[in-house]
Every structure is written in C-alpha cells, then in structure tokens.
Amino acid sequence: MATAPSSPSLSVPDWLNKGDNAWQMISATLVGLQSVPGLVILYGSIVKKKWAVNSAFMALYAFAAVVICWVTWAYKMSFGEKLLPFWGKAGPALGQNFLISQSKLPATTHYHSDGVTVETPMVTPYYPAATMVWFQCVFAAITVILLAGSVLGRMNFKAWMMFVPLWLTFSYTVGAFSLWGGGFLFHWGVMDYSGGYVIHLSSGIAGFTAAFWVGPRAKKDRERFPPNNVLLMLAGAGLLWMGWAGFNGGDPYAANTDSSMAVLNTNICAATSLLVWTWLDVIFFNKPSVIGAVQGMITGLVCITPGAGLVQGWGAIVMGVMSGSVPWFTMMIIDKRWKLFPKIDDTLGVFHTHAVAGLLGGLLTGLFAEPRLCSLFLPVTNSRGAVYGGSGGVQILKQLVGGLFIIGWNFVATSVICIAIKTVMPLRMPEDQLLIGDDAVHGEEAYALWGDGEKYDFLKHEIFSDDNSQPRQYPSSGATQVV
C-alpha cells in the first residue's frame, strides 16, 4: 500500500488547481479516445474489407509516432519560445523540472500597439506542464490521422512511416504556433477556439494534396468501395462525437463557464448538421443514408470547433444548418461536376468534411463571435463578430487571411514532403498489393469471412483475389491465418 508523501506541498503546489488539472487530463483522454480506438474503428470499418487492417493500422501507427515526436521536439516548436513569427524553438519536453512546473505558453504575452504595455498576460494554466504537453499531443495526433483518411486504400505504409514525423514537424507545428502558441495570427486576433484551422482545415488541405501526389486507388476500388461493417463504423463515429466534449471543452485550459458553453454548442451544432444532411439525402436521393448522417455529424463537429466557446446557442444552430448543407453540396454536387475532384482520389472525402467545414466554421465564427464570450478567451480585447458591429467587421477579414495562410502553407509543405519521400521510395503501393490488399501488405486479414458483402462463392473467394483471372501471389502468413 502506498504511503502519503512526507510533504504534500511538493505534489500539490500553491498554483495547482485540482479541478482544472482533472478536467484537462480527462479532456486529453477523451480526445485520445477519438483516435484510439475511435478513428481506428471508424477507418477499419468504413473501407472495403480488403483494406480494413491497413486503414486501422495507419491510424494506430500515426498516433504512436506522433507521441514520440511530440515530446522529443515538436511540442516546443508549437508552444515554446518564439523562433519565427510562425514557429517556435524546437526542444525536448521530457525533463522533470519542466514537466512538473506550472504550465505556461511563453510566446503568448500580448502587448498593446506600443509594444510595451501588456494587454493580456501570458497563458499560465493552473496545472503542470506535463498536462499541457499531453493535451496538445492528442490534438497533434488526431490531425495526422484525419489526414490519413484521404489516402486510405493505396498509400505505401513505409512511405506513411516517413510522412508522419515530417508532416508533424514542418506543417502542423507551424499552424499550431501561429494560431495558438503565440505566433503572428494569435496576436493579430484570428479566432480558432479549438482547431477549425489548426486541425481540420490543415488536415483537409494536406490530405487532398497528399492524395494528388500518392495517386488513386486501384480502378476496381474506386468503382466499388463498400464499408465492410456499417454498425462498427457507427461505434467509431459515436466515440468521435462524445470525445468532442474534450476536444472543445478542454481548450479554455480550465474547468470554467466557457468550457461548459463550448461543450453545449458542440452538441447543438453536430445534431443540427446531422439532421440537415439526412434531410438533404432524403429530399434529393429519396433515401436516408447512415454514412451520410455520419458525414453530417462530422461536418457539424468540425464547423463549430473554431467558435465553440465564442458563439451563442442560436449561432451554433445556424452553423449546424450551414455545415449540414454547404459541405453536402460540395461533396454531392460540385465533386461530381468539377473535373478536378474526380482526378484526385480523396478516399473519405476529407477535403469536404474537414477543409470545407473547417474554413466555413472559421468564417462563421468571425460573423457570430459574441463580445463577452470573446473576452473570456481571446488575447485581443474588444474582439467580436461582424453581427455585433464595432470592430467586428474586420474580423471576417482576419478569419479569411488566417484560413488562406493555413491553406497555402499546408499545400506547399505537404507537396515538398511528398516529393522528398518519392525520391526515396514509392508513395503508392505496387499494383499486385493494390489488387489483394491487407493480406499482401500485412499478411493479415480483418475477418475470417469472404468477399465484400457478397455471398460465399468457392471459385471467387477460395483462391482468387479481386482479379478473378489471376491466382493469389501472396500466401496467407499472418497471425490471423495461423489461428
């Protein structure tokens, strides 16, 4: 049985707020559960059966890789001392003296225009740096995993192993520092409450860019890509939705009134968006789609993220209506009519669900951000949305410029990273692996079942892959087959 420490003040210093610390660690856990197992389950079940293992493993691997990169150098690039207006100084976040000291974001002290008088003091939450490091780590991890949704079903796994640390280092950290860690967009007053730009817009643009460089799935997969388990997909989606309480509720860095507002608005917007998307499916296609409902849920969660604790409840409903209709229109109408989209194989439509919804949410936040709620969170005093008059008119411009910076940086950085990796190894799997899927890539299969929803057919499923004319070249060798 453990004994109490001889000096309680060593583990409970005067600056520690136990409630804030508990809520922040719970929020971090909720966001972590969105990825593992949330998106692992969602990805593994929403794809064709032959890609279930590969898709789930891409998410799981990315989570683990980000954790190590984050504590080794990336945390301080995002939330440390200023190196450039858009980047922090790299350094480890592993020493005990740093981790048990009070958390602080050193570049967040905001000054008046004279550059001397402090307008808003440095962000110093009432819990240790270890809590902040882990909370921000799970946000970084889920961003990379969301990006993966664009390249499922064909990206070379070894190339993915290289891509994750490079993209985290040269793309994610820039957006995080610029908007959250005390960079130029933070001090200019661009609003991004919980990652509409840092996480969703960046993952949507980077995913779409990566999809271009990686290339498309196999022709048969593009023509027919049914989910292998719709019910399990709903379980993953449910973890994603409920986990968003930590995603948005943890970003005031305290268990306060603004945190409560953010959680409520998150659920209001997500529910509204899901209903609107489903209604549109019924009106135009005469069938309510479960996958469509999940897409609507996600776009609602994404859209409210940049303004979760900054808008009123009625604003969350309006944002839900917009997030259930605008991304629906871009995915269902524009995607099929504009020649660019069919040429770039964005497997799960991450561009629509995250880039479009994230930018939309950022712009709507600039419209509906309520002055009193802004004063609870933002470094720039007297910030407000355009509907509240005064200085609110310029906020739309700030939101647009902030979004364009994230779009431009992610497009360039992701392209450079993909080109660099391509000089070392192929970004796309070889055709023989694309034909077979998990068994060829990992030597494992998700289920001891056959086909992609078809009834068992000996001639088709016993010894043949998707290509019925060619026998399987890769013998079953994984643990699943041994069992």
pLDDT single digits (tens) 360-415? 999 999 999 999 999 888 888 889 999 998 777 899 999 999 999 999 999 999 99
Please tell me which residue, 468 or 244, carries the higher pLDDT value.
Answer: 244
- Cα–Cα distance measured from residue 452 to residue 228, given in angstroms and rounded to the nearest whole number: 7
Q: pTM for the whole thing?
A: 0.90
pLDDT tens digits for range 116-133:
888 899 999 999 999 999
pLDDT above 60: residue 6: no
The 3-state secondary structure of 136-181, one letter per residue: HHHHHHHHHHHHHCCCCCCECHHHHHHHHHHHHHHHHHHHHHHHHH
Which residues have CB under 8 Å from 454's CB, separation 6+? 460
pLDDT at residue 474, as a whole number: 43
The percentage of the chain sitting over the pLDDT mark of 90, rounded to a whole number, equals: 81
pLDDT at residue 112, as a whole number: 86
Mean pLDDT of 298-306: 97
Mean pLDDT of 427-454: 83
Query: Residue 359 — pLDDT band, cuts 50, 70, 90?
Result: very high
pLDDT at residue 266, as a whole number: 97
pLDDT at residue 328, as a whole number: 96
- Residue tagged 């087959």 (tokens): 481
The string of DSSP letters for 303-357 reads: HHGGGTTTS-HHHHHHHHHHHHHHHHHIIIIIHHHSTHHHHS--TT-HIIIIIIH
pLDDT at residue 475, as a whole number: 44
The percentage of the chain sitting over the pLDDT mark of 70, rounded to a whole number, equals: 91
pLDDT tens digits for range 13-72:
899 999 999 999 999 999 999 999 999 999 999 999 999 999 999 999 999 999 999 999
Mean pLDDT of 160-184: 97
pLDDT at residue 452, as a whole number: 54
pLDDT above 70: residue 5: no
Query: Residue 480 — pLDDT band, cuts 50, 70, 90?
Result: very low
Angle ∠(327,41,468) on CA atoms, nearest 5 = 90
pLDDT above 70: residue 477: no
pLDDT above 90: residue 151: yes
pLDDT at residue 476, as a whole number: 39
- Cα–Cα distance measured from residue 447 to residue 469, given in angstroms and rounded to the nearest whole number: 23
pLDDT tens digits for range 92-115:
999 999 999 999 999 999 998 887
Query: Residue 341 — pLDDT band, cuts 50, 70, 90?
Result: confident
Query: Residue 338 — pLDDT band, cuts 50, 70, 90?
Result: confident
- Cα–Cα distance measured from residue 356 to residue 298, given in angstroms and rounded to the nearest whole number: 12
- 42 HSE (CA, 13 A, CB side): 25
Structure tokens at 248: 């948005």
CATH homologous superfamily, domain 18-218+225-435: Ammonium transporter AmtB like domains (1.10.3430.10)
Mean pLDDT of 430-455: 80
- Cα–Cα distance measured from residue 228 to residue 235, given in angstroms and rounded to the nearest whole number: 13
